[in-house]
Amino acid sequence: MSRALFSPRQWLTLAALLGVSFTAWAAGADLGQADKQATNWTAIGMFGVFVVFTLFITKWAAARTKSASDFYTAGGGITGFQNGLAIAGDYMSAASFLGISAAVMASGFDGLIYSIGFLVGWPVVTFLLAERLRNLGKFTFADVAAFRFDQTPVRVFAASGTLVVVAFYLIAQMVGAGQLIKLLFGLEYWIAVVIVGGLMMVYVLFGGMTATTWVQIIKAIMLLAGASFMAGAVLWQFGFSPEAMFAKAVEIKTSLAVTAGKTPEEAAVQGFSIMGPGGFVKDPISAISFGMALMFGTAGLPHILMRFFTVPNAKEARKSVLWATTWIGYFYLLTFIIGFGAITFVLTNPGFLDAKGGLIGGNNMAAVHLANAVGGNVFLGFISAVAFATILAVVAGLTLSGASAVSHDLYATVIKKGKADSVAELKVSRLTTVALGIVAVLLGIAFEKQNIAFMVSLAFAIAASANFPVLLMSVLWKGCTTRGAVIGGFLGLISSVALTVVSPAVWEATLGNPKGSALFPYTSPALFSMTLGFVGIWLFSILDGSARGKQDRDGFLAQQVRSETGIGASGASGH
């Protein structure tokens, strides 16, 4: 494809600088330039190595996955540091890696607004929920939300909230997988989606949470290492001067605007616009609403909340969230540099552009093309393998979370009234895993043309409006009752989904209605739907004069004592 930017000697200097040995890759990059065809095989080979390795882990994990506790929480034996990496792995999805670097490439500073929003939810999780979740829960966040309430209605709500969030998140991941493989292997989109669905099912079915966690940890390390290298390579080209990198990017954006027919004055303004906020945040209401979705959505993502049950105690739960925040913050810093690197090295290289001047494979391929630009075809192969592994791992985590909602919340608690045995519960989990795998493939095919980073923000809005209010109020407010939690929760869930459907992104862009016909004009529904969720919980709780309501309020003291001290909480390994 294109020529690498570095000579082999520069490679070695850079490798020494980063404290990592890239000698083998440097040699490989030269081979890649000599023979273009072979490089694709290198990429496929790297991905193959990852798959074989993770299948061995799955085999090892399968031998340890006997009980429902092993399946859902890896027996509770993951350390804080390991869990922090796994959470970061869950969060650093292909949607953030590819989507945010693409957003930065397209509009600069606006991509940073996006990243910051994704990060600021973590302190909220730490201060309000992490340790309390660990002290109260067992397998799913519904264990916590329903702790002192009537199990059936609250579990039905929590399972609905989980499945809707998981569905939106899954769509984003599957679309990313399809786009990536189309570019890398030249396969049809749908084949890629089927491969992801199939491999993910193997991890979850046989290895449960143990395999999912370790796949996630390995992928997180690979992604952080690969992204560090790319960002380091970009900065190195500019003598580690951010000013020089920004200046070059502005210059390139300006000359692109001139080429597109703008006057020099207009072009200068457009070029400089990447250094400040642009059209991403359209109006103040959208800005606040979107900010709320990202900040509070994190605390309502079921596959993230589930991770707090894999550690032995509250201390490890706190450590894991601090590690996760640190890695994720670092990762967003890298994606920002990668996005600017894409402006300077990808947009200027005709090898990466199609006839209309757009990126081959679409804007979401910014980071992938940059990998080729800074590291040649071998590094392109590595980054593609990592991105694909990322999708696999995140999809596995999401599926596990969805399967636990169906088997633990709906089957074991609602249908069997808590009397299901571990074997039957496990069987239902596995059947659900297969069903979700098939649904994920179908959704992936249906949503082929959507911007994947945007899909993730929809999942956040729903998590912030439905799951988060119920969780927070049930844990912190004595007056919350079953009736209030269920009605308020469903109000948040239904309103966030409904407002999303009638927002411009879905109503006009996806459903093809004329521009301006969307009933809800804002980017994100969270300001309205989250408020509706909280007000609903509060109103229907204080109006609740039933005997059940009294029982719910009376149960608060015991719940609070356990959530604050952990006394009575299920310990480390369940066996």
Partner 1 sequence: MQTDLVQKIASHPKYQELKSKRTGFGMWLTVAMMVVYFGFILLVAFNKAFLATRLGDGVMTIGMPLGFGVIVFTIVITAIYVRRANGEYDALTEEVSKAVLK
Residue 283 C-beta: closest distance to partner 1, Å: 7
According to DSSP, the residues that pair with 353 across neighbouring strands are: 359
CB 482 within 8 A of CB 549: yes
Closest of 88, 174, 216 to residue 456, by C-alpha: 174
CA distance 221 to 393: 12
CA distance 433 to 396: 9
Name the residue nearer to partner 1 (CB basis): 60 or 127.
Answer: 127
Residues that bind partner 1 (CB under 8 A): 109, 112-113, 115-117, 119-120, 122-124, 126-128, 131, 242-243, 246-247, 250, 272-273, 275-278, 281, 283-284, 287-288, 291, 295, 314-315, 318-319, 321-322, 325-326, 329, 332-333, 557-558, 560-562, 564-568
Instruction: Return the half-sphere exposure (C-beta side, CA atoms, 13 A cut-off) of residue 298.
Output: 29
Residue 129 C-beta: closest distance to partner 1, Å: 10
Residue 116 C-beta: closest distance to partner 1, Å: 5
Residue 86 C-beta: closest distance to partner 1, Å: 17
**In a 10 Å sphere around its CB, with 0-12 CB exposed, 13-18 middle and 19+ buried, how is residue 517 labelled?**
exposed
Residue 265 C-beta: closest distance to partner 1, Å: 16
Residue 467 C-beta: closest distance to partner 1, Å: 18
Residue 487 C-beta: closest distance to partner 1, Å: 26
Residue 120 C-beta: closest distance to partner 1, Å: 5
CA distance 47 to 53: 10
Residue 573 C-beta: closest distance to partner 1, Å: 20
CA distance 111 to 385: 24
Side chain identity at 153, as an amino acid letter?
P
Name the residue nearer to partner 1 (CB basis): 66 or 318.
Answer: 318
CA distance 352 to 348: 9
Dihedral through CA 134, CA 138, CA 142, CA 147, nearest 10? -80
CA distance 523 to 509: 12
CA distance 492 to 505: 20
DSSP assignment of 6-21 equals S-HHHHHHHHHHHTS-
Residue 556 C-beta: closest distance to partner 1, Å: 11
Closest of 72, 5, 567 to residue 306, by C-alpha: 72
Helix (H) or strand (E) holding 321: helix 314-345
Closest of 27, 26, 37, 44 to residue 1, by C-alpha: 37
Name the residue nearer to partner 1 (CB basis): 53 or 240.
Answer: 240
Name the residue nearer to partner 1 (CB basis): 51 or 322.
Answer: 322
What angle (nearest 5°) sits at the alpha carbon of residue 39, between those of residues 37 and 44? 110
CB 185 within 8 A of CB 368: no
Closest of 345, 409, 401 to residue 373, by C-alpha: 345
